[in-house]
Each structure stands twice: as C-alpha cells, then as structure tokens.
Structure 1
Amino acid sequence: MSDADTANGGDEKTNINIRVTETFLEDIDATWQEEGYNSRSEFIRDALRDAVRHPDLTRESWKEIAAVEHARRTGDSETFSREEILAGDE
C-alpha cells in the first residue's frame, strides 16, 4: 500500500464509480453526516483506507468498532478514566 494516500496529499486523486442501492446510499449519507465528515467522499475514503490497513479485521469487528465509535461521539457511552481502566486489570 502506498503511504501517499494516507498523508492527505501526494498522488493525484482518481475518480472511481461504484453502484449501490438507493437505500444503502441513504444509510451512507446519514452516517457520514452524523459522524461529522465533511463529505460523502471523505467518509468513503476513510472507510476504504481502514479496510486496506486492517484486512485481518472481520466485518463483524468493523461493525462493533463503528457502534462503539458512534456511541462515543454521540455521548451514548460511559467514559472511564485511564486509572479506572488500569485498576480493572488488578
């Protein structure tokens, strides 16, 4: 994998075309807006970058990560201090 794309610069960008259902596109649009991305393209690039960087993670793992991240961003999750987490290992 090239590091150029990960540095937000470098190589010239190329357009690609994908086909998705209208329902899935609605889900994509709702997600990128809820998660605070500036655009659909930014969100999709980030998702693709994660998939390429971490091919060993399963689809189920990505769903769990996304759910936790969403809960954290929307304030629907508990927060713990570093000390509380470390104390849990004792």
Structure 2
Amino acid sequence: MSETGVNDNGIDDPETTTINIRVTERQLAEIDAVWKEEGYTSRSEFLRHAIRDATAHPGASRDMLASIAAEEHAMRKGEHDAVSREEVIEMIDDEE
C-alpha cells in the first residue's frame, strides 16, 4: 500500500505517492550537491525530475549520458567549447 505524498510546500498531495529508496552515503552526498547546485528547491524535486528523465528517455544509453555529462563538465571547466544543436543531433544519431 502506498501513502499519499507531500509536495515541496509540505502539503498533502493526492497526485503523488511516497516511496522509500536506499542509497549509499556517497550517493546521498552527490544527490544533495547536485540538487542545490542546479537550483532545485528540494531533493525530492530533483529526484522526480531524474526519474522523469529516465522513464521518458529510456533509449538514452548509460554511455551516451556519461558522455554528455563528461562534455558538460569539460565545458564548465573551459576545456571544451559548446556544441551546436545540429552537432548534438548528429552525436545522438551516431549512437543509434
């Protein structure tokens, strides 16, 4: 049986369900760092978006996502230039 969830404002939300997951302390620290850095209002909001992305785009391979993350990290450090939309589409097409 699932429970009614609570939204980010602390109000019962019949549209959401509370779930429990287990993560390592390291994973929790990484989750907390990312949601704050990316401007999410809460850990729950971040995780909902992560789940939505994973379920909405199940064809995105782990390797492709890792590559995107690596490129983003390199761009933020000034090691790579941004790529165009067309280049991204070409990269995705190459993966398929």
**TM-score when normalising by structure 2:** 0.58
Aligned residues: 72
Indicate the RMSD between aligned Cα atoms, in angstroms: 2.6
Q: CA 1:81/1:44 → structure 2, altered by over 3 Å: closer, same or farther? A: closer
Higher strand share: 2
2:38 alignment counterpart: 35
Structure 2, unmatched stretches of 5+, are 1-13, 88-96
Give the percent of matched residue pairs that are identical in Structure 1 and Structure 2.
54
Query: Which aligned runs of 4 or more in structure 1 are off by greater than 2 angstroms?
Result: 63-72, 74-82
State yes or no: 1:59 paired with 2:50.
Answer: no
Higher relative contact order (CA 8 A, sep 6+): 1
Q: CA 1:35/1:51 → structure 2, altered by over 3 Å: closer, same or farther? A: same
